[in-house]
């Protein structure tokens, strides 16, 4: 049998780089190995510019504007050829960050020419690899969240909120424990999910992205030994904050990754609420409350022509579960490190892109699934009309209130309604006959004779209006 591993171009091992690649491709610019190397170059370039701009090392000149532009162009133009070149250098160094240092020094020789003046020696000056890596990962994750994941998630939540508003007045038989219960509206039920998702997004938007630059054990030891008169904490802080990150002053060799654990927990919680949306909508589809609109030519079942399967929601469930498994292990593992450091975080962080990829894929599937639904109010109305016993709740509640006010004949309301309704279906006529025999005040009796399961929705439509008011 021929080996598929020998195919050219390479056959993807995972689904994200195979059939799902078009959906997750935007994450490649932020969370791929190539993006990591580009951010490493970015951090090294900006550190060199930062050192020379502030005359940190006595006697070293500032870079000219043209030289800075040339260095920053190395980052802006970073592409496939640079990725290949770095791989080749790394084969010799067997060290990824050292490869970046040599790569940049090679570019710097061209940019500076005969005017080098010792400046190349400030590339990676006083840095441990983790100084570069932690800042690179923070920039990568920040970019992926703010530029890709959050916009897609926000668009989905707005789609859910719009659906809730559109269905705010459509009566729905609620189910608690799977049993017919107090009616609501479909809009209110969807609004609950939109509200929950929106709250989790606010947590994600508030995330901090921390970074450090303080040497091999977080002490600025090499920095002080090399240039004792510099204010190294201030230099470090201004550099990290200049990258758009939050400075962490107290670390071991590694930045502690607590911010990553916090962020991944928030994203995972969003995913779990979204999973709840998938299972609820799937159930509504199975009950006939939503019809799926299928494009011409698509196939629902390979053998049953009548079927349209809710595959978008099922696909989303699976991807949310895979993504959350990764997010959970990232959050649990990254906050642990033996003494000054071990390398488990290095291997772990290479899975960040996969975790966000599965979440992004789920968001895409849910969005497409919701766009293919049409509400079926008639099916919802039919279920309501078949369950008049749900009006036992408001009647016994009104009787309790009347009994508390001293109205005679209102004793044991719960038990009387239980005897009428439990374990059996009743009709509108059954209920109205019962109401007429209760001896209710005339205006209360009139109210309950006019009440139907379709109109017993409380304030459900109004509650939808709280969306966006948080």
* Beta-carbon-side half-sphere exposure of residue 266 (alpha carbons within 13 Å): 21
Do 46 and 187 have their domain in common? Answer: no
Do 274 and 148 have their domain in common? Answer: yes
| Mean pLDDT taken over the chain | 93
What phi and psi, each to the nearest 5 degrees, are found at residue 180? -55, 135
Mean pLDDT of 419-428: 82
Do 164 and 193 have their domain in common? Answer: yes
Do 395 and 432 have their domain in common? Answer: yes
Asked whether residue 4 carries a pLDDT value surpassing 70, the answer given is no
Residues in the chain: 470
Do 164 and 290 have their domain in common? Answer: yes
382 compared with 12, residue with greater pLDDT: 382
Distance between CA 253 and CA 336 in Å, rounded?
Answer: 13
Is there a domain that residue 185 lies in? yes
- Each as own residue / partner, the long-range contacts of residues 339-347 (CB below 8 Å, 24 or more positions apart, any chain) are 339/252, 340/217, 340/218, 340/252, 340/253, 340/254, 341/130, 341/252, 341/253, 341/254, 345/254, 345/257, 346/133
Last residue of a domain, one of 104, 125, 146: 125
Is there a domain that residue 391 lies in? yes
Mean pLDDT of 373-379: 96
Do 157 and 251 have their domain in common? Answer: yes
Distance between CA 384 and CA 3 in Å, rounded?
Answer: 60
Asked whether residue 65 carries a pLDDT value surpassing 90, the answer given is yes
| Residue 23 · residue 358 · CB < 8 Å | no
Tokens of 264: 């991944």
Catalytic residue among 55, 238, 286, 301: 301
Mean pLDDT of 415-442: 85
3-state secondary structure of 41: helix
Taking the CA atoms of 426, 430, 434 and 440 in sequence, report the sign of the dihedral they define.
Answer: positive
pLDDT band of residue 285 (cuts 50, 70, 90) is: very high
150-180 pLDDT, tens digit each: 999 999 999 999 999 999 999 999 999 999 9
Asked whether residue 303 carries a pLDDT value surpassing 60, the answer given is no
pLDDT at residue 298, rounded to an integer: 52
Mean pLDDT of 56-72: 96
Asked whether residue 299 carries a pLDDT value surpassing 60, the answer given is no
124-142 pLDDT, tens digit each: 999 999 999 999 999 999 9
Asked whether residue 73 carries a pLDDT value surpassing 90, the answer given is yes
Asked whether residue 296 carries a pLDDT value surpassing 50, the answer given is no
- Each as own residue / partner, the long-range contacts of residues 400-404 (CB below 8 Å, 24 or more positions apart, any chain) are 402/440, 402/441, 402/444
Do 140 and 269 have their domain in common? Answer: yes
Number of structural domains found in the chain: 3
Which residues, 6 or more positions from 456, have their beta carbon under 8 angstroms from its beta carbon? 182, 183, 390, 391, 394
pLDDT at residue 297, rounded to an integer: 46
Last residue of a domain, one of 323, 343, 376: 376
Is there a domain that residue 382 lies in? no
pLDDT at residue 419, rounded to an integer: 83
pLDDT at residue 118, rounded to an integer: 87
For 187-289, strand residue ranges (E) read 210-211, 246-247
Do 253 and 339 have their domain in common? Answer: yes
Closest CA to 368 of 96, 159, 84, 114: 159
CATH number assigned to the domain comprising residue 97: 1.10.275.10
Do 145 and 273 have their domain in common? Answer: yes
Mean pLDDT of 280-295: 90
Q: How many CB atoms lie within 10 A of CB 206?
A: 10
Mean pLDDT of 78-85: 94
CATH number assigned to the domain comprising residue 263: 1.20.200.10
Do 37 and 145 have their domain in common? Answer: no
Asked whether residue 302 carries a pLDDT value surpassing 70, the answer given is no
Q: Domain range holding 91? A: 29-125
Do 336 and 260 have their domain in common? Answer: yes
218-269 pLDDT, tens digit each: 999 999 999 999 999 999 999 999 999 999 999 999 999 999 999 999 999 9
Asked whether residue 149 carries a pLDDT value surpassing 80, the answer given is yes
CATH number assigned to the domain comprising residue 419: 1.10.40.30
Closest CA to 29 of 95, 83, 100: 83
| Residue 372 · residue 293 · CB < 8 Å | yes
Mean pLDDT of 449-466: 96
pLDDT at residue 306, rounded to an integer: 55
pLDDT at residue 413, rounded to an integer: 81
Asked whether residue 435 carries a pLDDT value surpassing 60, the answer given is yes
Closest CA to 465 of 174, 185, 206: 185
Catalytic residue among 177, 302, 306, 347: 177
- 3-state SS of 348-383? HHCCHHHHHHHHHHHHHHHHHHHHCEEECHHHHHHH
Is there a domain that residue 2 lies in? no
Is there a domain that residue 5 lies in? no
3-state secondary structure of 64: coil
In order, the DSSP letters of 446-462 are: HHHHH--TTT--TTHHH
Percentage of the chain modeled with pLDDT above 90: 81
Is there a domain that residue 9 lies in? no
Is there a domain that residue 15 lies in? no
Last residue of a domain, one of 331, 346, 376: 376
326-341 pLDDT, tens digit each: 999 999 999 999 998 8
List beta partners, residue 211. Answer: 247
177 is catalytic: yes
Mean pLDDT of 88-92: 94
Model pTM score: 0.92
| Residue 112 · residue 67 · CB < 8 Å | yes
Do 215 and 335 have their domain in common? Answer: yes
Task: Using DSSP bridges, classify how beta strands 373-375 and 290-292 pair: parallel, antiparallel or unpaired.
Answer: antiparallel
Residue with token string 């709280």: 466
Is there a domain that residue 349 lies in? yes
Distance between CA 370 and CA 459 in Å, rounded?
Answer: 25
């Amino acid at each position: 049998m021929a080996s598929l591993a020998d195919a050219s171009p390479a056959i993807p091992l995972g689904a994200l780089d195979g059939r799902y690649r078009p959906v997750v491709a935007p994450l490649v610019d932020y969370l791929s190995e190539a993006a990591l190397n580009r951010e490493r170059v970015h951090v090294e370039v900006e550190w060199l510019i930062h050192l020379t701009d502030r005359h940190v090392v006595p006697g070293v000149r500032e870079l000219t504007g043209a030289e800075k532009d040339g260095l920053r162009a190395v980052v802006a133009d970073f592409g496939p050829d640079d990725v290949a070149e770095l791989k080749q250098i790394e084969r010799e160094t067997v060290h990824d960050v050292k490869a970046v240092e040599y790569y940049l020094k090679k570019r710097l020789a061209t940019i500076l020419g005969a005017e080098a003046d010792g400046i190349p020696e400030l590339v990676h000056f006083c840095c441990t690899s983790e100084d570069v890596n932690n800042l690179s990962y923070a920039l990568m994750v920040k970019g992926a969240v703010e530029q890709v994941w959050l916009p897609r998630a926000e668009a989905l939540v707005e789609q859910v909120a719009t659906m809730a508003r559109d269905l705010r007045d459509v009566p729905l038989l609620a189910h608690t424990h799977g049993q017919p219960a107090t009616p609501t509206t479909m809009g209110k039920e969807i609004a609950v999910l939109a509200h929950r998702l929106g709250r989790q997004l606010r947590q994600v938007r508030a995330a901090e992205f921390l970074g450090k630059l303080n040497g091999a054990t977080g002490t600025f030891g090499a920095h002080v030994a090399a240039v004792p008169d510099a204010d190294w904490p201030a230099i470090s802080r201004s550099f990290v904050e200049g990258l758009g990150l939050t400075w962490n002053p107290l670390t071991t060799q590694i930045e502690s990754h607590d911010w990553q654990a916090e962020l991944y927990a928030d994203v995972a919680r969003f995913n779990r609420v979204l999973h709840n949306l998938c299972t609820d909508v799937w159930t509504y589809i199975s009950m006939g409350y939503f019809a799926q609109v299928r494009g011409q030519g698509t196939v629902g079942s390979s053998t049953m022509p009548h079927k349209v399967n809710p595959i978008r929601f099922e696909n989303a469930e699976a991807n949310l579960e895979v993504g959350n498994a990764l997010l959970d292990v990232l959050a649990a593992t990254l906050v642990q490190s033996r003494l000054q450091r071990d390398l488990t975080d290095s291997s772990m962080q290479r899975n960040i892109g996969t975790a966000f990829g599965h979440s992004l894929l789920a968001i895409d599937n849910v969005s497409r699934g919701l766009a293919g639904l049409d509400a079926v109010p008639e099916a919802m109305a039919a279920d309501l009309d078949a369950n008049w016993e749900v009006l036992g709740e408001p009647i016994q509640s009104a009787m309790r209130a009347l009994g508390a006010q001293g109205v005679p004949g209102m004793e044991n309301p719960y038990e009387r309604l239980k005897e009428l309704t439990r374990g059996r279906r009743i009709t509108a006529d059954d209920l109205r006959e019962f109401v007429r025999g209760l001896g209710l005040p005339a205006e209360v009796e009139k109210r309950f004779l006019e009440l139907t399961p379709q109109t017993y929705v409380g304030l459900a439509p109004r509650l939808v209006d709280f969306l966006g008011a948080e």
